[in-house]
């Protein structure tokens, strides 16, 4: 690993969620660097609903715990901020509070003369640039944040533009995100997401049936992940109604109303399962589903679950997302309910042992280790200054 002996400040969403690209990359980087994970995203406007109330309670608990060790070389910090971020005065005060709390944590973690790098997965933290004497500022762009519900799109876009003006390296994760970054930064490189291959490939060797699947009819079409506004519940209702002889198992927190989908007898909502247990369920799926709506947000997404399903040996049926099209050898694409249902029916009968192994083996080269190695090589490579840019090397990566 070419990036060593740094203190990396990582600005990201909560550590205590299911592993995403940020979790995977930072875990690997923490093998040779100190990592301060900062749970922070400043621009989302909370609503008066149960999801945001629970999120706020969780954040308060993390704030109260202070600097919390994750393991020997990695800790997380949830900065205390004042509600009311839409007020300019409160926002400026919160920015000062966040900087002060991060500096205090850095002082407690940093070794003498240890170089500091600032990595952010949040687009709205340009105010942090240059505040920690960092040798590099890396923006890791994994989503079109302006398209998320509950975000102020104009504010996000403006902050993201300012952040990219200050960044030394921009990492993105899909071809559409790459195209956006290219317009805003002179040197763009596409580095797509990886997969925890060994973890998910273990599904090929698992035979024991989880207790929650014992009373569910076999031939299972399954989904694993957060069920939020990008999940097409209307599509899934129509598909599950057409395929009444197939069980639809949905694993993950549900953050939207599913309407009549939840009432279908062949639809089973199992809730969130620990990451360590996911292969146990995938081992008994017959097909993995990515039923995302088609909109600005999902056109830029690069679903990690695609590679996880394939690593587990499963065929995939997905709506026609740009980044899934690249895997058309293993994934069937359909947007209309009838075509989606037909694709599921066809995919289920492709699960011969040799074919399952072929799918899994195809993902072996796309490990998070290999992705992180390439990222580190780009981040640490000297580059010529680009005309019109600042005095720092300007690199733009894109991954997903």
Per-residue pLDDT tens over the stretch 220-245: 999 999 999 999 999 999 999 999 99
Say if residues 251 and 278 touch (Cβ distance below 8 Å).
yes
Domain with CATH 3.40.50.2000 in the chain: 7-194+368-398, 197-364
Three-state helix/strand/coil letters over 183-204: HHCCCEEECCCCECHHHHHHHH
Per-residue pLDDT tens over the stretch 349-362: 999 999 999 999 99
- Tell me the DSSP string of 252-309: S-B-S--GGGGG-TTEEEEE---GGGHHHHHTT-SEEEE-B--SHHHHS---HHHHHH
Strand, coil or helix: what is 118?
strand
Give the mean model confidence (pLDDT) for residues 283-292: 98
What does the mean pLDDT of the chain come to?
89
Per-residue pLDDT tens over the stretch 12-61: 989 998 899 999 999 999 999 999 999 997 654 444 445 444 444 444 45
What is the pLDDT, as a whole number, of residue 333?
A: 98
Task: Name the class of domain 197-364.
Answer: alpha beta
Per-residue pLDDT tens over the stretch 162-188: 999 999 889 989 999 988 988 887 766
What is the pLDDT, as a whole number, of residue 383?
A: 56
* Confidence check: pLDDT of 254 > 50: yes
DSSP class of residue 9 equals: E
Q: Yes or no: is domain 7-194+368-398 CATH 3.40.630.10?
A: no
Per-residue pLDDT tens over the stretch 123-143: 999 999 999 999 999 999 999
Question: Lowest-pLDDT range, 93-102, 172-181, 247-256, 377-386?
Answer: 377-386
Burial status of residue 208 (CB atoms within 10 A of its CB: 0-12, 13-18, 19 or more): exposed
* Confidence check: pLDDT of 400 > 70: no
What is the pLDDT, as a whole number, of residue 324?
A: 98
Distances (CA, A) of 123 to 71, 111, 162: 27, 28, 9
Q: CA 299 to CA 301: how far, in whole Å?
A: 6
Give the mean model confidence (pLDDT) for residues 270-274: 97
When pLDDT is cut at 50, 70 and 90, the band that residue 1 belongs to is low
Residue the block writes with tokens 């492709």: 350
Q: CA 344 to CA 248: how far, in whole Å?
A: 11
Say if residues 106 and 69 touch (Cβ distance below 8 Å).
no
Residue the block writes with tokens 């993995």: 288
pTM for the model stands at 0.89
CA atoms within 13 A on the CB side of 3: 28
Say if residues 11 and 118 touch (Cβ distance below 8 Å).
yes
CA end-to-end span of the chain, whole Å?
Answer: 20
Per-residue pLDDT tens over the stretch 367-393: 999 999 999 998 888 753 333 333 333
When pLDDT is cut at 50, 70 and 90, the band that residue 65 belongs to is low
Q: CA 121 to CA 33: how far, in whole Å?
A: 18
What is the pLDDT, as a whole number, of residue 150?
A: 82
φ/ψ of residue 196, rounded to 5: -80, 80
What is the pLDDT, as a whole number, of residue 393?
A: 37
């Amino acid at each position: 690993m070419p990036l060593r002996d740094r203190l990396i400040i990582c600005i990201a969403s909560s550590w205590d969620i299911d592993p995403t690209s940020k979790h995977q990359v930072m875990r690997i980087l923490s093998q040779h660097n100190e990592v301060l994970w900062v749970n922070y995203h400043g621009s989302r406007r909370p609503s008066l609903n149960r999801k945001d109330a629970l999120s706020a309670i969780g954040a308060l608990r993390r704030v109260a715990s202070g600097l919390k060790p994750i393991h020997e070389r990695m800790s997380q910090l949830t900065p205390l901020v004042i509600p009311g971020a839409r007020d300019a005065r409160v926002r400026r005060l919160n920015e000062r509070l966040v900087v002060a709390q991060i500096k205090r944590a850095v002082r407690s973690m940093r070794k003498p003369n240890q170089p500091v790098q600032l990595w952010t997965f949040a687009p709205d933290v340009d105010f942090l640039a240059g505040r920690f004497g960092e040798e590099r500022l890396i923006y890791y762009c994994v989503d079109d944040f302006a398209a998320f519900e509950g975000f102020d799109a104009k504010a996000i876009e403006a902050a993201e533009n300012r952040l990219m003006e200050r960044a030394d390296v921009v990492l993105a994760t899909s071809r559409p995100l790459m195209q956006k970054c290219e317009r805003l930064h002179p040197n763009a490189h596409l580095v797509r997401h990886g997969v925890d291959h060994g973890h998910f490939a273990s599904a090929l060797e698992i035979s024991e049936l989880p207790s929650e699947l014992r009373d569910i009819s076999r031939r299972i079409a399954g989904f694993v992940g957060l069920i939020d506004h990008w999940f097409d519940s209307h599509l899934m209702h129509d598909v599950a109604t057409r395929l009444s002889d197939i069980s639809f198992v949905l694993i993950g927190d549900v953050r939207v109303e599913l309407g009549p989908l939840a009432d279908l007898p062949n639809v089973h909502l199992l809730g969130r399962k620990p990451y360590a247990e996911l292969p146990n369920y995938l081992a008994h799926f017959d097909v993995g589903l990515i039923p995302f709506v088609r909109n600005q947000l999902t056109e830029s997404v690069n679903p990690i679950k695609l590679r996880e399903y394939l690593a587990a040996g499963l065929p995939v049926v997905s709506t026609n997302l740009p980044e899934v099209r690249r895997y058309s050898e293993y994934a069937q694409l359909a947007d209309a309910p009838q075509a989606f249902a037909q694709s599921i029916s066809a995919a289920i009968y492709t699960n011969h042992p040799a074919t399952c192994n072929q799918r899994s083996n195809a993902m072996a080269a796309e490990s998070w280790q290999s992705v992180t190695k390439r990222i580190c090589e780009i981040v640490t490579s000297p580059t010529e200054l680009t005309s019109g840019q600042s005095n720092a090397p300007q690199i733009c990566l894109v991954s997903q």
